[in-house]
Structure 1
């Protein structure tokens, strides 16, 4: 326990500078920088990025760097259809390529942010009209997307979109050290909450923004941020306004630069695979759990 506390203090001290950064201004600059159309500069950016982060372009639908008009289209590139098989019937499909940050069961509607450190589901969702009765001891998994990863987000199950909520906030880094150092990070950062009706009840997918993550999109609403807005926005989907229906494995959104996805299921609805643990590498579409 003392070792965890000392690591947390160290990571908090290393993260202090982020409180002083003009997070939204820097992120907006990166947003525009990754969309310029200076061809030679775009190719240089992609080349350096591929070397530094060892990006596997063999999996990309467009494997040739010269065919990307700007850095953002490269970063949010699509994969070839055959490279990510989707989990079978009554299995939960992993929504992203990345690493598991935390995984487990909610305790009194609390999620684990880092070892020995919890935060409230009510704070994460930040909206008093969301019913949490189904999630008292629900299941959750938090996924961290490394810069080298594929950055589109896919459906773990078939679902009808019920609500989408944009919550403004800070843009702290979501690197493992910052997550271990900044209290209530996921509840403070800007995020887009998506609530789906599924065969096992409501499913919540939270797309968390971060420093330099200049944009979050969904397939039904397009780009949600930027512009950065200082107020909460809430969309409710009904039969009258054509409820979006998405199938398991279908793309539901993307980050234009990397971040974190938090997946939440109702109490006693799913069982995670026993070998999954923090820091485990996962790929979009793979089986991560079973419907009970």
Structure 2
């Protein structure tokens, strides 16, 4: 295990993330522009795709990082049976959920029940498929709907805030089932669908289009919000949530409803709106 990864076990995750959040929301021009310029240069951010391409036009680093794209920069796949990629980034892993187990990396796995914090919620996905998408600091940080769905509830699961970079994914057991996360449950015309927003070190802010800021406040117990009867239906490709920095989104689909696109594999670069899977009709 690398020294950096070892250190992350001992670091005060939430304290560091709170400090990072204060910097990210600072409207002091020198602070925000230094952060924007540093990240743009280091990670090669393409601002030509952004609705606002001038880096001096963002009032804070967070405004820059959660920037909108210009119209037409991303489009939904033309195949009406295509379940869509929810975000820009890279595939961390994807594939079948075997007996409730989700593959993480190099012999490591975690269960759907651990990820969702519920044995009952995991049952429909026991032999389904999953895709884990890692958003790097250079990527567009809004998450969109893979398929049209009606929100039924969210579950805020407290946890650590390990890095979700490739090294940590290889080395930290059950990483995605240990980090703080927001599980979003949807009903669709093919059954249940889960989209899980996983926080990370310095990346602990999650916002949704229906409720605003969800994380922080950091939690100490699993907290459920029910939306039965609220009529919150989001169309395929519509924005659903955003991260305040890079992190990971995991999509779970139930057994027998879809086949993952065969071109996808670990480290595949992906873009919002591409085909994630094909729905069985």
| TM-score bin (small chain) | over 0.9
TM-score (norm 1): 0.93
What stretches of structure 1 move > 4 A for 4+ residues in a row?
none
Which residue of the other structure, out of 223, 245, 250, is the alignment partner of 2:213?
223
- Corresponding position: 1:275 with 2:275: no
Contact 1:53 1:147 in 2 (8 A): yes
SS at match of 1:62: coil
TM-score (norm 2): 0.96
Contact 1:30 1:214 in 2 (8 A): no
Shift of 1:78: 0.5
Structure-1 separation of matches of 2:167 and 2:101: 21
Structure-2 separation of matches of 1:83 and 1:261: 21
Structure 1 residues without counterparts, runs of 5 or longer: 1-9
- Corresponding position: 1:28 with 2:21: no
Residue in 2 that maps onto 1:7: none
Contact 2:108 2:174 in 1 (8 A): no
Residue in 2 that maps onto 1:166: 156
SS at match of 1:137: coil
Query: Size of the alignment, in residue pairs?
Result: 279
Structure-2 separation of matches of 1:42 and 1:207: 25
Structure-1 separation of matches of 2:31 and 2:162: 28
Shift of 1:232: 1.4
Residue in 1 that maps onto 2:82: 91
- Corresponding position: 1:234 with 2:234: no
SS at match of 1:271: strand
- Corresponding position: 1:198 with 2:224: no
Residue in 1 that maps onto 2:111: 120
Q: 1:14 to 1:43 in 2, by over 3 A?
A: closer
Residue in 1 that maps onto 2:245: 257
Residue in 2 that maps onto 1:44: 34
Residue in 2 that maps onto 1:156: 146
Contact 2:153 2:228 in 1 (8 A): no
SS at match of 2:45: coil
